[in-house]
């Protein structure tokens, strides 16, 4: 029977590692996640960090029903911890260095349909209607919707914009419609107040959106935003990348869905017209 207390041999190392991460400006949410991942590993592995071997790490992942994103996140936490430990002389060996690279299978999620968006906008909950707009019109993640604050709206010579608090403490600026800007500016604080940290959690926002839209999720609203801004915005992938806050164009491409109509137009361009001679 394992104790629910982080082993003393791990605790000082974990605290020192997180302190090092914090010195580089890592967001509080990321630090909290890394602590959870490392402390959970320490509890289950049941041996000092210096005695962990490659087989222990492999066994830890064996049989887990985790999503690909979770597996990558936990692997990143362990790799970062051991690389730091070896670099500063606190550990002699990095058992994660020989982990085989993960095969990346990007699953392209379809964007939320206009019918799903209409369903969400018909919700009796005013908060949900605003959440749908922030996902579909502004391309916000659920964790970013949770952090929308009246102080994040500003007006310039062109129109209104919203300062978005993204993953990893990154910020970006996204243009918004005047009526949405006015709603946010009038809220005097958090747009979606809650009991934890003053605002609703990303998890709860995701749940509300899934309940309101029977055939779409909150994240699929973001895919809809990426697809529409690309199609209607001059096919400018770099602009879409900036609006979505991606560090890589490869990631942005996942959010740009090629619809059936676009495929038919492309295929029609290759049709041989009557009177066109084909080389034998």
Residues 23-45: tens digit of each pLDDT: 988 888 888 999 999 999 999 98
- Please check whether residues 47 and 151 belong to one and the same domain: no
| pLDDT (mean) for 108-121 | 89
State pLDDT tens for residues 198-245: 999 999 999 999 999 999 999 999 999 999 999 888 888 899 999 999
What is the overall mean pLDDT for the chain?
A: 88
**How many other CB atoms are found less than 10 A from the CB of residue 29?**
14
**Which domain does 225 fall in, by range?**
114-264
Residue whose entry in the numeric block shows the structure tokens 């890589």: 248
Considering 34, 165, 255, 257, which one is annotated as catalytic? 255
50 with 126, same domain: the answer is no
Q: Does residue 101 belong to any structural domain of this protein?
A: no
pTM of the model: 0.68
Look at residue 246 and tell me if it is in a domain.
Answer: yes
Whether residues 122 and 15 fall in one domain: no
120 shares its domain with 205? yes
Q: What's the CA angle centered on 246, arms 169 and 167, to 5 degrees?
A: 25
Given 83, 109, 127, 219, the catalytic residue: 219
| Residues 117/136, Cβ–Cβ less than 8 Å | yes
102 within a domain of the structure (yes/no): no
The residue from 2, 47, 72, 167 that is catalytic is 167
> What are the residues whose beta carbons fall under 8 Å from the beta carbon of 199, sequence distance 6 or more?
146, 147, 190, 191, 192, 193
Domain presence at residue 226: yes
Q: What would the pLDDT profile of 161-172 be if each residue is shown by its tens digit?
A: 999 998 878 899
pLDDT score for 280: 47
Check whether residue 253 and residue 205 sit in a common domain.
yes
Residue 103 belongs to some domain of the structure = no
The pLDDT of residue 2 is above 50: no
Residue 100 domain-assigned? no
More confident residue, 25 or 127: 127
Same domain, 178 and 42: no
Which structure tokens are listed for 100?
């085989």
Mention every residue, 6+ apart, whose C-beta is less than 8 A from residue 52.
45, 95
Name the packing angle between helices 68-87 and 28-45 (round to 10°).
Answer: 90
The percentage of the chain sitting over the pLDDT mark of 70, rounded to a whole number, equals 92
Residues 118 and 257 in one domain: yes
**Is 246 in the active site?**
yes
**HSE, side-chain direction, 13 A CA sphere, residue 234:** 3
Q: What is the pLDDT of residue 275?
A: 62
- Please give the average per-residue pLDDT across 93-104, as a whole number: 85
- Using a 10 angstrom Cβ sphere, with 0-12 exposed, 13-18 middle and 19 or more buried, the burial of residue 280 is exposed
Q: Check if 222 is active-site.
A: yes
The alpha helices in 194-236, defined as continuous H runs, are: 202-212, 218-232
Neighbours of 44 (CB within 10 A): 11
| Residue 110 vs residues 171, 206, 215: alpha-carbon distances, Å | 26, 17, 11
Domain-located, residue 272: no
Q: What CATH number is associated with residue 201?
A: 1.10.443.10
Catalytic residue among 222, 223, 224, 257: 222
Domain-ending residue, one of 87, 102, 123: 87
Q: Bigger pLDDT: 249 or 136?
A: 136
Query: Residue 29: which CATH number?
Result: 1.10.150
Q: Does the annotation mark 167 as catalytic?
A: yes
Helix, strand, or coil (residue 237): helix
Of 34, 133, 165, 224, the active-site residue reads: 133
165 and 228 within one domain: yes
Q: How many distinct structural domains can be found in the chain?
A: 2
Q: Are residues 52 and 136 in the same domain?
A: no
Same domain? 81 vs 156: no
Q: Which residue has the higher pLDDT, 141 or 109?
A: 141
Residue 219 annotated among the catalytic residues of the structure: yes
Whether residues 257 and 132 fall in one domain? yes
Is 256 in the same domain as 164?
A: yes
Q: Is residue 44 part of a domain?
A: yes
């Amino acid at each position: 029977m394992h104790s629910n207390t982080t082993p003393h041999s791990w605790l000082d190392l974990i605290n020192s590692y997180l302190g090092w991460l914090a010195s580089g400006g890592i967001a509080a949410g990321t630090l909290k996640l890394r602590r959870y991942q490392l402390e959970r590993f320490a509890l289950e592995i049941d041996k000092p960090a210096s005695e962990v071997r490659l087989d222990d790490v492999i066994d830890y992942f064996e049989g887990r029903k985790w999503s690909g994103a979770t597996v990558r996140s936990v692997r990143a936490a362990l790799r970062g911890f051991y690389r730091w430990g070896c670099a500063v002389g606190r550990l002699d060996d990095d058992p994660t260095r020989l982990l085989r690279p993960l095969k990346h299978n990007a699953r392209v999620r379809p964007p939320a349909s206009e019918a799903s968006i209409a369903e969400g906008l018909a919700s009796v909950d005013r908060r949900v209607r605003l959440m749908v707009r922030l996902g579909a019109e502004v391309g916000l993640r659920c964790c970013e919707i949770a952090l929308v604050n009246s102080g994040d709206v500003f007006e310039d010579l062109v129109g209104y914009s919203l300062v978005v608090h993204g993953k990893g403490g990154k910020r970006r600026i996204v243009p918004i419609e005047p009526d949405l800007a006015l709603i946010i500016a009038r809220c005097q604080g958090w747009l979606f107040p809650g009991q934890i940290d003053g605002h609703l959690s990303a998890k709860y926002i995701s749940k509300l959106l899934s309940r309101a839209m029977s055939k779409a999720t909150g994240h699929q609203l973001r895919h809809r935003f990426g697809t529409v801004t690309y199609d209607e915005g001059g096919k400018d992938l770099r602009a879409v990348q900036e609006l979505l806050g991606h560090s890589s164009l490869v990631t942005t491409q996942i959010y740009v869905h090629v619809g059936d109509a676009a495929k038919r137009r492309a295929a029609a361009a290759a049709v041989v017209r009557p009177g066109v001679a084909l080389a034998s």
